[in-house]
Amino acid sequence: MNAPFKPTNEAATNFARRHIGPSPRDIAAMLETVGAKSLDALMAETLPSSIRQKTPLDLGLALSETEALAHMRELASQNQVFTSLIGQGYSGTILPAVIQRNILENPAWYTAYTPYQPEISQGRLEALFNFQTMICDLAGLDVANASLLDEATAAAEAMALAERAAQAKTKSFFVDAEVHPQTLAVLRTRAEPLGWNLIVGDPAVDLERADVFGGLLQYPDTSGAVRDLKPAIASLHAKGALAIVAADLLALTLLASPGELGADIAIGSAQRFGVPMGYGGPHAAYMAVRDALKRSLPGRIVGLSVDSRGEPAYRLALQTREQHIRREKATSNICTAQVLLAVIASMYAVYHGPEGLTEIARRVHRRTAVLAAGLRKLGFALKSEAFFDTVTVDVGGRRDEIVARAFAEKLNLRIGEGTLGIALDETTTPATVEAVWRAFGGALAYADIEASAREALPAELKRASAFLTHPVFHAHRSETELLRYMRKLSDRDLALDRAMIPLGSCTMKLNATSEMIPLTWPEFGNLHPFAPRAQAAGYHALFARLEQWLCDITGYDAISLQPNSGAQGEYAGLLAIRGYHAARGEPHRNVCLIPSSAHGTNPASASMVGMTVVVVACDKRGDVDVNDLRAKVEQHSKNLAAVMITYPSTHGVFEEHIREICDIVHSHGGQVYLDGANMNAQVGLSRPGDYGADVSHLNLHKTFCIPHGGGGPGMGPIGVKAHLAPFLPGHPANCHPATEGATPHAVGPVSAAPFGSASILTISYIYILMMSGDGLTRATEIAILNANYIATKLDAHFPVLYRNARGRVAHECIVDPRPLKNSSGVTVDDIAKRLIDYGFHAPTMSFPVPGTLMIEPTESESKAELDRFCDAMIAIRREIAEIEQGRWKVEASPLRHAPHTVHDIADDAWSRAYSRAEGCFPAGTSRTDKYWCPVGRVDNVYGDRNLVCSCPPVEAYAQAAE
């Protein structure tokens, strides 16, 4: 690859200096604190010399922010934005500017983490609660989750749910022949390793005889037809199978809901509620279920509970279903989902309200009916006379001529075998409809046809039930009100725009503003994922370079950009391993070794590909116990498929034995899956592909600056060595040179779109462009320095649990407050909540070691912020000492009552042993710049016992809305 980048302004190219927190002078001081002579010396003490990268990372010259944005403009100009009428699950939509500016482009929303600490997350939890309410109302079901990755994977999750929950214990699943093709493809991927058989057919004809545990129906179907699904659903129920309906949310404002038709589960995409298509994503998928299925629902669910004062407070509910607790027995492997996009979709509904959404739906339907009338007039037959926003036209031999004229009008149609599909959306104008007619060979005027158009929704399927009756969907109709509502919610939350978020394993680094700019440009935002490849030349240039850079960084030979989370990357990587063994005539290899310290997604992903998880012990140092590994490898030698290992380990240490571990596994025919979530400790210093790993995922939302969005989006591309490259995920849309044509072994797809959440790849791309190899390497070194600085400063107060033989930690460290529980009764929860009073987000709690805190500062935090954090931790240690010394019991201490709120400072009946000021403004914290969390400590047990996951409809509003 030729480096196309010629920086012109040397002085301005120092983006790396702004990305990295500590100044050169701070770095010198910090090196002294940790007792290292230089950064190089510190690296030599941290990483085993056997894995060090020999040549410096060279990715070309660094561009300044200005230059990088100019380059992005140039790439964007290579994409051609046609009007998309392709449909197939992706629609044009109008993102209200007030939501774009104040949510999508607002770091208070996009830099937040998954709301595991509910007290500092009430704003986004409320927005997600609104999302769930919206989904429950539109779907006519009882419980919805707070988003899944895309419609196709949501369908696969629903299939798995049906298999767990249905009475019918068969291994077959029915799929409507009229589901979106990418959904069918993802279902095939998911079903095959688990030995499930897909029966694809016409529900009206083929379902009766099928012996299945569940069935998936599309509503309206992929060609646009609106069918009555009640008979098919009844037929599924008669055999003890669960009925799943993939439904379009906008259509549901006019059509009877899946719940009303009898469905057990509804899934789909919330993309058309204001989220740009983005050449595939990110968007939020949804899933809703009947009450009886709620404990099997995958993904995160926001529930209502109470806080320490008995006031309502949101938090994540039923977490015991999830991978971090249930591991290989979890309901799914999902971790990162699509929170930011779910928030946008919920605000779109708050902005429009039920009448606004209905009006949009009516207008889209009206235009479609007019389009249909014109097409009939031009002599074309429609595949179905009952439709919402999509019609499919029989065009026979005239297809190519019509498509050519459509291209000349800058229209993309859905091209079928002798058919053309036309899907309208809220952006469609009468002029678009007239352009379609011209493509079909007729010069008709919209106004002339309008009178002859008739509604095409079947009378018996019209929606009669109210939806979005809760006040939140009525109270924010002016922009002023909505702006203030969004501001109110974001003010309740603590994101990176307020303070360091030292979450171990999550890499909460800077998401620079420049990195966030291009993704909302129409040339990146408004492309349909199945638009002709020639219209996406800018995107494909970006993909090719990004893949090359990621290969250079990791030492792998090929990259797939398809998986849209780390967990999906694991799934794709394990599928590749599985495909490789099968192609070598060893399909029986199905044992996956996973150390006890692994992230919960690892075992959950292994079980999704039908592998048997065998746990490998860790030794006292926290390293993989090589003797145990050797024993397990020998025991399972014949059936060994893979080891999944995180490096540096989840304990935050570079283990010396990594090469040896890889060799042992290889010598028994196994493959090495190296979880690359901790790549932030390696970029520029060591490459997994060089020291024995075969495949890794990279969390672009950790190491490569995609913001966490409060729990998504993310991207989890995988890198593989050459022998696994043929087994990277393919896609029916076939847009990738590596997977086009001759790839008989390609597995997958694993995502609805060929390049996953393509639009946010722009973020990682510019980051690398502005950092270059030198900047990235420096970032890694500072990430390691920052972690060692914290380890050094805190060790005397909270002992650091694991270090390497030379006393160094990698890019994160675990501190161990467990002994203090014996001496004072203070729990890790108390410390986490007390940190909120000091203005901080807690570190990662109880992962990977129960009762401990894992701290990851990243390179972006300055020395001043690290000091502020360490001071807070040390002050908390002093507060614990006061309990140890008997000043008061833990139950009476500020630690147990943390976090403190305005209700505490204003409490006239204050009767605690400590003063209100001591509770609210602990040592050294600013009174002026205090972050007030809106609720006291949230009661998790109460919330799970009294599960409330959507706003109860308010009768008064229900009537008012009629």
Residues of this chain that interact with ligand PLP (CB under 6 A) are 335-336, 505, 565-567, 599, 601, 646, 650, 675, 677, 699, 714, 716
Which residue number, 274 or 714, has a Cβ lying nearer to ligand PLP? 714
Asked if 518 and 386 touch (Cβ cutoff 8 Å), the reply is no
**DSSP notation for 2-62:** ------S-GGGGTHHHHHS-S-HHHHHHHHHHHT-SSHHHHHHHHS-GGGB-SS-----PP
Cα–Cα distance, 541 to 556 (Å, whole number): 20
In whole angstroms, the minimum distance from the beta carbon of 682 to ligand PLP comes to 13
In whole angstroms, the minimum distance from the beta carbon of 649 to ligand PLP comes to 9
Which residue number, 84 or 507, has a Cβ lying nearer to ligand PLP? 507
Quick one: residue 550, left, alpha or beta (phi over 0 = left, psi -120 to 50 = alpha)? alpha
**CB-count exposure of residue 583 (10 Å: 0-12, 13-18, 19+):** middle
In whole angstroms, the minimum distance from the beta carbon of 567 to ligand PLP comes to 3
* DSSP state at residue 711: T
In whole angstroms, the minimum distance from the beta carbon of 786 to ligand PLP comes to 18
In whole angstroms, the minimum distance from the beta carbon of 716 to ligand PLP comes to 5
Asked if 516 and 763 touch (Cβ cutoff 8 Å), the reply is yes
Cα–Cα distance, 543 to 549 (Å, whole number): 10
Would you give the end-to-end CA distance of the chain in angstroms? 62
Which residue number, 335 or 413, has a Cβ lying nearer to ligand PLP? 335
In whole angstroms, the minimum distance from the beta carbon of 873 to ligand PLP comes to 22
Which residue number, 453 or 503, has a Cβ lying nearer to ligand PLP? 503
| SS3 label, residue 315 | strand
Which residue number, 593 or 961, has a Cβ lying nearer to ligand PLP? 593
In whole angstroms, the minimum distance from the beta carbon of 114 to ligand PLP comes to 8
Cα–Cα distance, 228 to 206 (Å, whole number): 16
In whole angstroms, the minimum distance from the beta carbon of 713 to ligand PLP comes to 9
In whole angstroms, the minimum distance from the beta carbon of 897 to ligand PLP comes to 32
Which residue number, 601 or 739, has a Cβ lying nearer to ligand PLP? 601
Which residue number, 308 or 680, has a Cβ lying nearer to ligand PLP? 680
Placement of tokens 């003890």 in the chain = 240
Asked if 126 and 343 touch (Cβ cutoff 8 Å), the reply is no
**C-alpha count within 13 angstroms, C-beta hemisphere, residue 948:** 14
Cα–Cα distance, 370 to 208 (Å, whole number): 37
Which residue number, 716 or 726, has a Cβ lying nearer to ligand PLP? 716
Proportion of the chain in helix, strand, coil states, percent, rounded to 5: 45, 15, 40
In whole angstroms, the minimum distance from the beta carbon of 652 to ligand PLP comes to 11
Which residue number, 650 or 893, has a Cβ lying nearer to ligand PLP? 650
In whole angstroms, the minimum distance from the beta carbon of 465 to ligand PLP comes to 36
In whole angstroms, the minimum distance from the beta carbon of 402 to ligand PLP comes to 42
Which residue number, 151 or 570, has a Cβ lying nearer to ligand PLP? 570
Which residue number, 677 or 693, has a Cβ lying nearer to ligand PLP? 677
In whole angstroms, the minimum distance from the beta carbon of 723 to ligand PLP comes to 24
Cα–Cα distance, 82 to 84 (Å, whole number): 6
Q: What is the spatial order of strands in the sheet that 143-144 belongs to?
A: 143-144, 285-289, 265-269, 242-247, 214-219, 172-176, 197-201
In whole angstroms, the minimum distance from the beta carbon of 329 to ligand PLP comes to 17
CB-based contacts of 108, cutoff 8 Å, min separation 6: 490, 491, 493, 495, 497
Cα–Cα distance, 647 to 682 (Å, whole number): 9
Which residue number, 696 or 759, has a Cβ lying nearer to ligand PLP? 696
In whole angstroms, the minimum distance from the beta carbon of 502 to ligand PLP comes to 14
Nearest position to ligand PLP, beta carbon = 566
Quick one: residue 528, left, alpha or beta (phi over 0 = left, psi -120 to 50 = alpha)? beta
CB-based contacts of 528, cutoff 8 Å, min separation 6: 84, 86, 90, 277, 279, 412
Asked if 736 and 725 touch (Cβ cutoff 8 Å), the reply is no
* CA 187 to each of CA 152, 167, 263: distance values in angstroms, whole numbers, following the listed order: 7, 21, 19
CB-based contacts of 887, cutoff 8 Å, min separation 6: none
**C-alpha count within 13 angstroms, C-beta hemisphere, residue 130:** 27
In whole angstroms, the minimum distance from the beta carbon of 594 to ligand PLP comes to 11
CB-based contacts of 98, cutoff 8 Å, min separation 6: 351, 479, 482, 483, 486
Which residue number, 602 or 762, has a Cβ lying nearer to ligand PLP? 602
Task: Please work out, in degrees rounded to the nearest 5, the angle formed at the alpha carbon of residue 513 by the alpha carbons of 759 and 563.
Answer: 30
* CA 406 to each of CA 373, 383, 386, 403, 424: distance values in angstroms, whole numbers, following the listed order: 19, 20, 24, 5, 15
In whole angstroms, the minimum distance from the beta carbon of 802 to ligand PLP comes to 15
Which residue number, 110 or 437, has a Cβ lying nearer to ligand PLP? 110
Helix (H) or strand (E) holding 71: helix 65-77
* CA 838 to each of CA 29, 179, 446, 926: distance values in angstroms, whole numbers, following the listed order: 25, 52, 63, 9
* CA 442 to each of CA 394, 395, 425, 459: distance values in angstroms, whole numbers, following the listed order: 16, 14, 22, 31
Amino acid at 84: S
Which residue number, 573 or 934, has a Cβ lying nearer to ligand PLP? 573
Which residue number, 781 or 856, has a Cβ lying nearer to ligand PLP? 856
Which residue number, 286 or 704, has a Cβ lying nearer to ligand PLP? 704
Give phi and psi for 776, each to the nearest 5. Answer: -65, -40
Which residue number, 36 or 758, has a Cβ lying nearer to ligand PLP? 758
Which tokens is 712 given?
Answer: 């998504």
In whole angstroms, the minimum distance from the beta carbon of 388 to ligand PLP comes to 34
